[in-house]
Structure 1
Amino acid sequence: MGMKNPLHRKKLQLALRAFTTKVIEKSSELDHIWVTRWLDDIGLPQYKDQFHEARIDGRMIQYLTVNDLLTLKVTSQLHHLSIKCAIHVLHANKFNPNCLRRRPVEEKHPSPSEVVQWSNHRVMEWLRAVDLAEYAPNLRGSGVHGGLIILEPRFSSETLALLLNIPPQKTLLRRHLATAFSALVGPQAMQEKREYGNATGHVPLTTTAKVKPKKLGFTQFSHLRKRKPDESADYICPIDSGALTVNGVSRLSSSAQKGLSPRLDRQAEREEQVGLKAQTNIN
């Protein structure tokens, strides 16, 4: 067929697998045109041309890997995290195409379970509501949406201030943003963010960090022939995310969190090593 684009080949393979297994996925109802609108909603419209050319549809979103995103020219670590959290929100809402909220409704004190579904535009509306209207346009193309704000433990008011280009010397404005941010995400998420910030080996989330390609080892080439069930960790947001609900907010489970932050990666690796050692001892 002369199909050279690796993502086109992947799309065909996924479609053939769905056809042969007769597994009906809700995500398959979302076409590539919907995905370009979704990129607008999560604040990453600059990638619409790449996603459109690769014909990324709802089914493919589930199976995107780090290297797939790099092929799509998404190199920013923050943007990878934005897409990861946005995919998790889709999983938690069973790929409801209208799950993201674009406009304010009558919600004087929105709960974290509502904020997690905010689109990029809705976050900008919130900034206008807390008297930071002049900085709101700076969020266009930032990848900031409700899912990133709530689910990513390293995303803080400092990260938001950087993205909004609020000068460090404007301490009162930054303090005002920090207070509004804390009220928005709620005490539980703020506690989690503080714990991550105080953890040993914590690497702050920056706006300039780039993602490096994942190198394939010899054992990982097997996915070219037949994907193993335990290789779901290769995905940007594992399908078996097993959404946990805490105080009404759908949180990422441990398997889905892998890759969200260096600390979580190291913690997951340690847990895997302990499990392997225990299994060896038993044998």
Structure 2
Amino acid sequence: MADRKRSGRPARFTPVQIAETLALACQLPAETGVPLSRRSCPELAVELTARGITDSISASTVRRWLREDVLKPWQYRSWIFIRDPDFRAKARRVLDLYARTFEGVPLGPGEYVISSDEKTSVQARCRCHPTLAPGQARAMRVNHEYGRGGALAYLAAYDVHRAEIHGRCEPTTGVVPFMALVEQVMTQEPYASAKRVFWIVDNGSSHRGKRAIDRLAGRFPNAVMVHTPVDASWLNQVEIFFLIVQRKVVAPNDFTDLAEVRDRLRGFEDRYNATAQPFQWRFTTSDLDDLPDRLDRHTPADRQEESSATPTA
């Protein structure tokens, strides 16, 4: 004979108390004068009692509530606030090029879009003990101590629509190394005989401002430099490639010398070009129109007033 249903032990904490706990965990302690970046679970338990939200509560209970909830207050993401007064116009040019359009006119078959930038300070760290491969119930082990084998800059030009990478290693960044990359790309087909080749770059010192635009056009009349907005390198597709390089080639950094770094990067370019497909870029001009409104919803009023008071020239 089956047992009758039982009500069980009454819940000790109410849904309101749980909700107030989550709200406290999401609050920035510095806003209330507490010298912390975030509260730990024991500190949250003490604060809940001090505020009279609960009579008493254990840190393990708070930890369980946070673990089970969709909110993860201990996680954070960094971002860069839009400061360029011409952000919309500059970003629209870049996004239009990704969609194979320039100034309202579709690009033709003899026009190409290159996304270019530099990855600085790729180091050669020679570990003092050989790296151990991962095994059963054991992650890869990389020795903490290493000898410095120098550093180099990796410059890359990514053909957005053909998914082809052109790279080179240089001792450092600068105008001369960047123009060497341009020379490497623009003297080979299909770019040498192309009608136009658009170079999307950020505002780094190697290719900043009108002087860089004139320098590029003077050397290659069919090349057109297009700058991303200030502090908006995330609009440059080559940054995605650099993330792949960091994850698959550079980390964990264990190279005997810079020659090995160069060989690894060249080998990866060949491997990448053999199978790569264009990135599925989803941020469009429609998203661009919605971006300022979404930022305003997450920006305190005093920050908005400060931003609006910033000179635009």
TM-score (normalised: structure 2):
0.21
The structure richer in strand per residue is: 2
Greater Cα radius of gyration, structure 1 or 2? 2
Which structure has more relative contact order (CA 8 Å, sep 6+)? It is 1
Q: Which structure's residues are more often helix, by fraction? A: 1
TM-score (norm. length: structure 1): 0.23
